Amino acid sequence: MKNFRQIQMHSFLKNNVFSISFGTSLSKLAGCIRQIFIAAAFGIGITYDAFNYAYIIPGFLLIIIGGINGPLHNSVVAVLTPLNKKNGGIVLTQVSIKLSILLFLLAILIYSNSSLLIDLLAPNLSVEAKSIATYQLQILTPCIPLSGFIGLSFGALNSQRKFFLSSISPAITSVTIILFILFSWIFNKEDTSSNFFNYKGLLAFATLIGTLLQFVVQIWEINKIGLLRLKSTFNLFKDEERRIFKLIIPASISSGLSQINVFIDMFFASSFQGAASGLAYGNFLIQAPLGILSNTLILPLLPKFSELRNKKDERGLQKQLISGIEYCFLTAIFLTGFFITFNNQIVQLVFQRGSFDYSATLKVKNILIAYAVGIPFYLYKDLLVRTYYSIEKTAFPFKSSFAGIIFNIFFDWFLIGAPIKNFGNLSPYNFGVIGIILSSVIVNFIVCIFLSFNLRNENINLHNFDLLKKISLMSLAAIMGSTFCFSILKTTNKFNSNLGEFLLLILGSLTFFVIYFLLTKILQVNKLSFKKEI
């Protein structure tokens, strides 16, 4: 009987993991294709620049409130899972109505003050860009009340083990944007005077329609599984409602802290034409492999940390954490070297077509290099923050996040010349949009130092100087591999076809990997082994 239950549990987990992984992979693929279409249609022009500012507030709410693993999702899963469908449906409907009314009022406020908000978010945008961004923000405001139900329904679907739909539904917006761009190609191919690519509302309308379709699909599924109870009584299940809202508020504040730095970066980026578009493309290329690394390296460690902490095995926890840090830097430094070495091939293959010309490639590849430098610190900070949360020590990471915001404001300002209105630049160092990215790199580095040394207060000694020595040797291996591959790329005749560039990227990547792997093995800083037990 016990074996039978174990088999059932194994089958349940296996099927759910497959559904989530498959649905998420399809969503990521759709997002990648969407970004390629946007690049071909808009390049780093004024329309896409304006859209990135218009989408800041609706996007924040869609990600923080309406996203999978967002505050609403996690709160609803926690509260609805123990309830039956009837009672769960009543709670879901009551919370949905109240939250939608609140977000609807917020949407009206944002719509009425859209011009003022764009001025606050991007004070240095051109008059034309501000006008387009204001118009796009007004189009996007209906996404705000929709985000509430989308977030709630993610949680409701997962509480009923409907994992695939919740994983795949974010792809609806991506597919809608792709179709809008395709239709604009088809219907305006010859009439350039009315080319829909130049229509300032295209991306905003496509995003709104995609969000609306996602809402319709999810509400249809919620109704289908019996969780939509429009005749519910508002006097029932008050405790469950309070639990959801009680969980939402602090979680939203905590999740929103990381987004504040995005607002700050975009505020300073408004001084540079095309900066918002370039940052969006460069960040997109970095985030996909970073997300994979984070899930692969960090997530499996967290349950172990919690277990060892509960057993009061500080030495075991310390050993596991140090091992995790070594693997984190080993892979992150490799990724940094890869992006720096092959930046030109990556940007060309992914984006360079249509409106995304060679000048756009030059801008984005420099942004990509700057982002790549910060990969190890970004991943290390992620590991440390999650470590603190896994051992239930949340105060210091929270304080560090606030300190990081202050540091980010200063370094953003300083690295773009320290501009003062009517006085000019106080600093001789103006790195432009690259300075904004380097600011994030410096801030993550400082926060990592704070988090690392504070672990001693939790009886965890990382042996920082020993780790620094190993990280230096890993960096040396990456520099040597990158230098060798870059010299080959420089002497190789340039290919005129995407196929040739693709083959060059594949062969170059394999060469870089082999050199890096062998050098880190020789330097004894690589514990990876391909010999796995079957």
pLDDT band at 135 (very low <50, low <70, confident <90, very high): very high
Q: What pLDDT sits at residue 399?
A: 86
Q: From 212, 230, 255, give the residue that closes a domain.
A: 255
Q: Do residues 313 and 224 share a domain?
A: no
Residue by residue, DSSP assigns 54-90 as HTHHHHHHHHHTTSTTSHHHHHHHHHHTTS-HHHHHH
In sequence order, what DSSP letters do the residues of 370-404 get, joined into one string? HHHHTHHHHHHHHHHHHHHHHTT--HHHHHHHHHH
Residue 28 lies in a domain: yes
Q: Is residue 139 part of a domain?
A: yes
User: Is 506 inside a domain boundary?
Assistant: no
Residues 198 and 232 in one domain: yes
Is the distance from CB of 93 to CB of 101 less than 8 angstroms?
Answer: no
My answer on whether 279 and 177 are in the same domain is no
Do 36 and 110 lie in one domain? The reply is yes
| Residue percentage of the chain with pLDDT more than 70 | 77
Average pLDDT (252-279) is 82
Task: Report how far residue 53's alpha carbon sits from residue 157's, in angstroms, rounded to the nearest whole number.
Answer: 32
Say how many residues make up the chain: 534
Residue 278: is its pLDDT beyond 60?
A: yes
Q: pTM, whole model, 2 decimals?
A: 0.82
pLDDT of 365 above 60: yes
- Last-in-domain residue among 255, 286, 318: 255
Split at pLDDT 50, 70, 90, the class of 6 is very low
- Long-range CB contacts (< 8 A, 24+ apart) of 165-169? 165/23, 165/217, 165/218, 165/221, 166/23, 166/68, 167/19, 167/20, 167/22, 167/23, 167/24, 167/26, 167/27, 167/68, 168/23, 168/26, 168/27, 169/27, 169/214, 169/217, 169/218
Tens of pLDDT, residues 27-43: 888 888 999 999 998 99
Stretch (H or E) spanning 494: none
Residue 243 domain-assigned (yes or no): yes
Does residue 176 register a pLDDT over 50?
Answer: yes
Query: Within this chain, do residues 345 and 286 fall inside the same structural domain, yes or no?
Result: yes
Query: 266 near 280, Cβ under 8 Å?
Result: no
Q: What pLDDT sits at residue 136?
A: 95
Name the domain boundary from 207, 225, 255: 255
Burial of 259 (0-12, 13-18, 19+ CB in 10 A): middle
Residue 424: strand pairing partners: 420
What pLDDT does 3 receive? 46
pLDDT band at 177 (very low <50, low <70, confident <90, very high): very high
Residues 247 and 280 reside in one and the same domain? no
> Can you give the pLDDT at residue 448?
92
Residues whose CB falls within 8 Å of the CB of residue 487, separated by 6 or more in sequence, listed in order? none
Same domain, yes or no, for 366 and 219? no
Flag the least confident range among 242-246, 277-281, 305-309: 242-246
- How many domains does one find in the chain? 2
- Give the domain extent around 68: 23-255
Q: Are residues 234 and 295 in the same domain?
A: no
Poorest-pLDDT segment among 149-153, 162-166, 247-251: 247-251
pLDDT-derived band at 115 (thresholds 50, 70, 90) equals: very high
Clarify whether residues 378 and 244 are in a common domain: no
Q: Which residue has the higher pLDDT, 160 or 501?
A: 501
Give the per-residue pLDDT at 86: 67
Within a domain: 90: yes
Residue reference for tokens 């840090």: 325
**Could you give the percent of the chain with pLDDT greater than 90?**
35
Q: Which residue has the higher pLDDT, 478 or 526?
A: 478
- What's the chain's Rg over C-alpha atoms? 25
The pLDDT, as a whole number, for residue 309 is 77
- Range in 13-27, 331-345, 434-448, 501-515 the model is least confident about: 13-27
Neighbours of 96 (CB within 10 A): 22
Which burial class, exposed, middle or buried, applies to 454 when counting CB atoms under 10 A from its CB (0-12, 13-18, 19+)? middle
Amino acid at 43: G
Two tokens at 498?
């995407």
Is residue 342 included in any domain, yes or no? Answer: yes
- Which is more confident, 304 or 155? 304
Beta carbons of 351 and 360 less than 8 angstroms apart: yes
Q: Which residue has the tokens 């179709």?
A: 179
Q: Which pLDDT band, with edges at 50, 70 and 90, does 184 fall under?
A: confident
Whether 233 and 323 share a structural domain: no
Residue 432 has pLDDT above 70, yes or no: yes
Q: What is the pLDDT of residue 515?
A: 95
Residue, of 128 and 65, whose pLDDT is higher: 128
Q: Which residues contact 460 (CB under 8 A, 6 or more apart)?
A: 314, 317, 318, 321
User: Distance of CA 85 to CAs 99, 162, 180, Å?
Assistant: 20, 13, 38
pLDDT at 191 over 70: no
**Per-residue confidence at 416, pLDDT binned at 50, 70, 90?**
very high
CB–CB of 364/278 below 8 Å?
Answer: yes
Q: What is the pLDDT of residue 168?
A: 79
More confident call, 451 vs 86: 451
pLDDT band (50, 70, 90) for residue 398: confident
| Residues 6 or more apart whose Cβ sits within 8 Å of residue 450 | 396, 400, 403
Can you give the pLDDT at residue 298?
A: 76
Does residue 524 form part of some domain?
A: no
Give the pLDDT band of residue 375 (cuts 50, 70, 90). very high
Maximal C-alpha separation, the chain: 79
Among 174-188, 240-254, 329-343, 364-378, the least confident range: 240-254
Asked whether residue 375 falls in the same domain as residue 294, the answer is yes
Arithmetic mean of pLDDT, 412-438: 87
Q: Which of 5-9, 109-113, 261-265 has the lowest mean pLDDT?
A: 5-9
Higher-confidence position of 65 and 289: 289
Flag whether pLDDT at 242 surpasses 90. no
Are residue 288 and residue 214 in the same domain, yes or no? Answer: no
Is the model's pLDDT at 18 over the cut of 70?
A: no
- Residues 196-204 have a mean pLDDT of 74
The per-residue pLDDT for 502 is 84
Determine, yes or no, domain membership for 507.
no
- Residue 420 predicted with pLDDT over 90: no
